[in-house]
């Protein structure tokens, strides 16, 4: 059975909301503790799409297995060539390569936009799956910020990883970068 990676649609939002909700309640990939509802997830996705950012889903036989998106790393203009990735997979898709397919497609989409750096901010220094996924796709660990969040009755680290896109900082940018509002 083939997994298809494609741009998300409004029809995917209930599945995206459910996948994120499961990750909020069961994982450290997000430091959110209360799952947002469909209205909030719709608003969030719209914000990324309004900036021209990729927001992808992985689907198999009409079932959304996971999703990924890139968003601005920071909202100051000088960061306009740098994005932060987010990848979330549903419980039935863990360990099936869905995350790798999503992140690979996300990297390609960001490179097609002329972006130059992608960062990953990974919850939990013990999160071998996410750290390994990012390392397998060329991310390098740049640091660990200890005890940055408190979730599930324990302090949780943040692992910072980075991957150059389109040659990174080796030359001048050749695209306008992200459309940032509110800068």
Q: How confident is the model at residue 101 (pLDDT cuts 50, 70, 90)?
A: very high
State yes or no: pLDDT of 183 exceeds 60.
no
Best CA proximity match to 113, nearest among 61, 74, 39, 55: 55
Strands across the sheet with 117-123, in order? 4-7, 55-60, 63-72, 82-89, 117-123, 154-164, 140-151
**If you search the block for the tokens 């972006």, which residue do you land on?**
115
Query: Which of the 8 DSSP states describes residue 181?
Result: -
DSSP string, 65-116: EEEEEEEES-SSGGGTTEEEEEEEE-GGGTTTTHHHHHHHHHHHHHHHTT--
55 in a structural domain: yes
CATH number at residue 132: 3.40.630.30
State yes or no: pLDDT of 62 exceeds 60.
yes
For residues 45 and 16, the answer to whether their CB atoms sit within 8 Å is yes
Q: d(Cα 157, Cα 29) in Å, to the nearest integer?
A: 11
What's the burial of 75, exposed, middle or buried (CB within 10 Å: 0-12/13-18/19+)?
A: middle
91 in a structural domain: yes
Write out pLDDT tens, residues 113-165. Answer: 999 999 999 999 999 999 999 999 999 999 999 999 999 999 999 999 999 99
Q: Specify the pLDDT at position 182.
A: 41
Q: Specify the pLDDT at position 181.
A: 45
Q: Specify the pLDDT at position 9.
A: 98
Rounded average pLDDT over 18-40 = 97
37 in a structural domain: yes
For residues 5 and 105, the answer to whether their CB atoms sit within 8 Å is yes
Structural domains in the chain (count): 1
Q: d(Cα 151, Cα 170) in Å, to the nearest integer?
A: 39
Q: d(Cα 155, Cα 47) in Å, to the nearest integer?
A: 30
Write out pLDDT tens, residues 66-95. Answer: 999 999 999 899 999 999 999 999 999 998
User: Mean pLDDT for the chain?
Assistant: 94
The reply to whether the predicted model has a pTM over 0.85 is yes
Domain that holds residue 56: 4-170
179 in a structural domain: no
Q: How confident is the model at residue 179 (pLDDT cuts 50, 70, 90)?
A: low
């Amino acid at each position: 059975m083939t997994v298809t990676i494609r741009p998300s649609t409004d029809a995917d939002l209930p599945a995206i909301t459910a996948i994120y909700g499961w990750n909020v309640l069961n994982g450290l990939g997000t430091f959110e503790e209360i799952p947002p509802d469909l209205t909030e997830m719709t608003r969030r996705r719209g914000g990324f799409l309004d900036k021209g950012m990729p927001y992808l889903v992985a689907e198999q036989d009409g079932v959304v297995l996971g999703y990924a998106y890139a968003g601005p790393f920071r909202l100051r203009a000088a960061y306009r060539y740098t994005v932060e990735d987010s990848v979330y997979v549903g419980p039935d898709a863990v360990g099936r390569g869905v995350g790798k397919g999503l992140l690979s497609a996300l990297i390609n989409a960001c490179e097609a936009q002329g972006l130059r750096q992608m960062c990953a901010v990974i919850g939990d220094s013990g999160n071998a799956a996410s750290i390994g996924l990012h390392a397998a796709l060329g991310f390098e660990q740049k640091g660990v910020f200890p005890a940055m969040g408190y979730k599930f009755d324990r302090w949780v680290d943040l692992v910072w990883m980075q991957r150059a896109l389109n040659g990174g900082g080796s030359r001048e940018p050749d695209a306008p970068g992200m459309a940032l509002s509110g800068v």
